[in-house]
Chains A and B, each alone.
Chain A
Amino acid sequence: MFKDIRYRWALIAVVLIASSYLIWPTYKLYSLSEAEKSELGVIVMKELRDGAINLGLDLQGGMYVLLETDIPTLVEKIANKKTEELRDAIQEADQRSINNQTDFFEEFLTVANNRELRLFRNYNNLATTRDNESVVQELKIQRDNAIASALEIIRNRIDEFGVSEPTIQKYGANRIIVELAGVQDSDRARNLIQRTASLEFTLVLNEQWEQTLNKIDTYLLSDSSVLNIDLDSPIEKEELAEPDTSGSAEDIFMEENILSEPTFDMSTPAEILKEKPFSGYLRAVPRGVGVLAKEYHIVKEILENSEVRRKIPRGGKFLWSNKFETAQDEMGNFIEFRQLYFVSSDPEISGGMIREPQAKLGTAGTDVSGQWVVNLSMSPEGTKRWSRFTGANINRQVAIVLDDKVFMAPVIRDKIPSGQTQVTGFADVNEAKDMANVLRAGELPAPVEIIEERTVGPSLGSDSIKSGGKAMFFGLIAVMIFMIIYYKGAGLLATLALMLNLIMVMAVLAGIGATLTLPGIAGLILTIGMAVDANVIIFERIREELDLGKTVRAAIDSGYERAFITILDANVTTLIAAFVLAWVGSGPIQGFAITLSTGIICSMFTAIFVTRTVFMFFSDRKPLKSLSI
């Protein structure tokens, strides 16, 4: 079908349109001013960021941290009988795994077998049969749990980093990568990452809502200085006077059906805030009280005000839930909110007392049959406290709090004398597993250490962008001028193909959500030099064919045909090197490999297909006598 020039133009047009479409978010994102960004709101900005090419930490400044769970320490901690022999074996296995670059557990098994240790004696707390192999298997599971829990803990602290989109991901079996763009206080970030997690069970004080809200409202009405910022913020005046939608504190909490009638932008109307400057923001949400995502920072600011804090009754405190949620109100509108709790500031159970949390399917025959639940038990001291506490607070809620964020607040159904506790109400297996990981944060703090850290200051980042951009611009100009001088008309065509190539590469990078790093820019610059190679090969071939006395049309045809095989073979080998780099290499190297290989692949289209189409266009109209080459 590509014999027909119309199809060829159509394909080129499609590629151009698709490329423009993919590049649009990138263009938009980086041409916005700060003020325009804040005006667009969180959701639109997130969409833009997702669609745009992101800048790597080396270009925008920030901090990269690689964390590793200290497996030997963990393995020693898990043992319920710690003997000298075990410690020695762990140490030797650790040394061997470092020296031989092998997995710790493999070495541990070998060492244990060599030394004829019977591991089950040290680990009879693990549910295994008696041989060393299954003990090690079980230890691996514990390692996975520990890393999952550490991941959960760090994710939970995301908003404390003050970074718009931190990357927190598992890497290999026991490592975590944390990337914090724009972080300058690396000390604070480090402390946040390494701080020991605090896990608590504490009573939810629903009965104190009303009194507390009234106090804060009254205070805010008497002293408007706290609210200066908030009242000036763009709360749009509603054209329609809304009925009182928020109600008193009691209304909010006890009734489910007072979600405000949908206003245009769902913000709390200013009239309500005049009477209830604090409680006006609170809304009933499926499982309690929530604050709209867009009003979250206002409420947070009020709650952090030192005068306001003094009005909060002793023995209680406000805590946010761990994440934003969406729910549908009765009008069918989706609202995004974060739940707010008022809980006892004197926690009943601390993380150290929780034992063996596990996500399980509810036992058949019970009322949770087929549902996912989390089972846990308690230490002897925990069992005592828990029994007293649950007995005294039946039908009240207890909040499960990790690092001052409420993960869930289940209702106590019954007194739990044995410590054996079952938490229910999970939608699926993932929710249950996440919860088990959160609970593990208290039981077994996984020792994590920073094994690699790279911090780039924002000034260096912007210098790098400037110099990289400059090099790219000069490189492009130099190659273009050279090609036009050397190959005249055909050279001009090659430079157009080169520009199209760069546009396509940008589009692909945006499309696959790649991150542009400094080596990535280097890859782009190298692409400029190498992408014209395809055209050089073709043009040289055409010149040779012309020298042999062929007609223009024949020279073009055989030039492209022969050159294609050459270009393919030559590019495949470069691609092999680039793919290996992308596969084995880490962060910045990957960025380089991705831009280089994308550039090469795109150059096959632009340098061969596009330029040939243009040649066809000219030679189809009237037979060419000569060629500007």
Chain B
Amino acid sequence: MRFLNKTNIDFISKQKIAGFLSITLIVAGIASLIIKGGPLLSIDFTGGTVAQIKFEKPVELGHLRETLSDYGFEGAEIVEFGSPDEVLIKTQFSGSSSEISEQLTLALGKTFTLRRVESVGPKIGKELQNDALKAIGLALLLILIYITFRFDRYYALGSVMALIHDVLITLGVFSLLDYEINLSIIAAFLTIVGYSLNDTIVVFDRIRENIPKYMKKTLNDVVNISLNETLNRTVITSLTTMMVVVILFLWGGKVINLFAFALIIGVFVGTYSSLFVASPVMVYFEKRSKKPFRK
């Protein structure tokens, strides 16, 4: 069985359309980030408390908000979580889980069970923020070094541009949808980085192999040939990975729902970027360099 037989798609000539699409998405995301004053950060990074509670029967959120704001949860964010009888309460209330439990019992009676409480001090939040940025920066730097070492700096530039592209778009989608960034989303970002790169490298590796093979052809052609040759693999792997992340999204439980969502976006964007971003960027820089691309 084969999905694609001997394709001959001219990926490089599509770079204007692709570039337009990518830039539109990135700009939309960045605009949303600017308007909303940066990404929506979870209490992991801002400090605060989040409590997940389950009621015996479905509750009406508006009513719940009113009741709770009378009991010291003014300004708390209350959203449904997974099912109509379960809610997430996010508040700056910096008490222990038992204090929160007490306060909630006072407000609601014994109609609920406390499923999860996370409370993070502001100082830790700031540290976790720093750590997250450090992790992403460090990962990108190390990858840049590795690819420069294994291929050359134009490949490295191409792949890192693709990665930044992927992370920016995912971040933008999260901002547009008002989804919040927590610790596990950072892990998802780094996974996207790893995954997208995986895809890109397979293509680059083929380009590296094909360059001496097709001495007469232009770099554009060699890149196109390589992209087409690896297209089957790119599609199949994206498909298997997409299958598992969609399943994770659907059945993995509410707690890792957002994480799985980030991965779905990431796998999609990562596949796209290894076809339409990484290679064209590499070609662009390679051509502009004074050094000819064939040594």
Q: A residues within 8 Å of B by Cβ?
A: 58, 63, 66, 98, 101, 185-187, 190, 450-457, 459-460, 463-464, 466-468, 470-471, 474-475, 478-479, 482-483, 485-488, 518-519, 521-522, 525-526, 528-530, 532-533, 536-537, 540, 543-544, 562, 565-566, 569-578, 580-581, 584-586, 588-589, 592-593, 596
Contact = CB atoms under 8 A, between A and B. Distances in A.
Interface stretch (B14-22, B23-31, B66-74, B236-244): B236-244
A474 B247 contact: yes
Contact of B205 (A185, A570, A575): A570
Nearest to B150: A569
A486 B247 CA distance: 20
25 contacts: A63-B97, A98-B126, A101-B126, A451-B121, A451-B124, A452-B124, A454-B118, A460-B116, A468-B252, A470-B251, A482-B243, A519-B256, A526-B191, A526-B248, A529-B242, A529-B245, A532-B240, A536-B233, A537-B202, A537-B233, A543-B2, A570-B199, A572-B146, A577-B143, A589-B183
Contacts, number: 227
A519 B232 contact: no
B220 interface: no
A569 B148 CA distance: 12
Contacts of B233: 536-537, 540
Interface string B22-57: 000000000000000000000000000000101000
Given A526-B241, A586-B183, A589-B183, A187 B96 contact: yes
B139 A580 contact: yes
B138 to A, nearest CB: 5
A565 B151 CA distance: 12
A279 B219 CA distance: 91
Nearest to B86: A460
Given A460-B115, A485-B1, A576-B146, 11 more contacts: A58-B255, A452-B124, A470-B252, A519-B256, A519-B259, A532-B237, A540-B230, A573-B146, A576-B139, A577-B191, A589-B184
A459 B135 CA distance: 33
Interface string B173-195: 00000000001101100110111
A562 B194 contact: no
Contacts of B183: 585-586, 588-589
A601 B150 CA distance: 19
Interface string B115-129: 111111101101110
B98 A479 contact: no
A478 B243 contact: yes
Nearest to A590: B187
B113 A457 contact: yes
Given A522-B259, A581-B135, A482 B252 contact: no
B197 interface: yes
B58 interface: no
A478 B193 CA distance: 24
Contacts of B134: 584
Chain B binding surface, main DSSP class: helix
A530 B236 CA distance: 11
Given A452-B124, A586-B183, A588-B183, A471 B252 contact: yes
A471 B263 CA distance: 15
Contact of A482 (B193, B232, B239): B239
Contact of A530 (B127, B146, B195, B252): B195
Nearest to A172: B127
B193 A577 contact: yes
A478 B121 CA distance: 42
B152 interface: no
Given A66-B124, A479-B240, A536-B240, A578 B194 contact: yes
Contacts of A529: 240-245
B282 to A, nearest CB: 15
A574 B251 contact: no
A585 B187 contact: yes
Name which of B54, B197, B229, B240 has the most chain A CB atoms within 10 A of its CB. B240
B75 interface: no
Contacts of A185: 98
A592 B127 CA distance: 20
Interface of B: 1-2, 52, 54, 96-98, 101, 113-121, 123-124, 126-128, 130-131, 134-135, 138-139, 142-143, 146-147, 150, 183-184, 186-187, 190-191, 193-195, 197-199, 201-202, 205-206, 209, 229-230, 232-233, 236-237, 239-245, 247-248, 250-253, 255-256, 259-260, 263
Contacts of A566: 201-202, 205-206
Contact of B244 (A453, A528, A565, A578): A528
Nearest to A458: B115
Nearest first, the 10 closest Cβ-Cβ pairs linking A and B are A187-B98, A467-B253, A574-B194, A529-B241, A577-B194, A529-B244, A451-B121, A475-B244, A584-B135, A471-B252
A581 B184 CA distance: 11
Contacts of B1: 485-488
B155 to A, nearest CB: 11
Contacts of B209: 562
Contacts of B115: 456-457, 459-460
B235 to A, nearest CB: 9
Contacts of A452: 119-121, 124
Contact of A588 (B54, B126, B184, B193): B184
A537 to B, nearest CB: 6
Contacts of A581: 135, 139, 187, 190
A533 B190 contact: no
Name which of B128, B131, B233 has the most chain A CB atoms within 10 A of its CB. B233
B183 to A, nearest CB: 6
Contact of B97 (A186, A466, A475, A485): A186
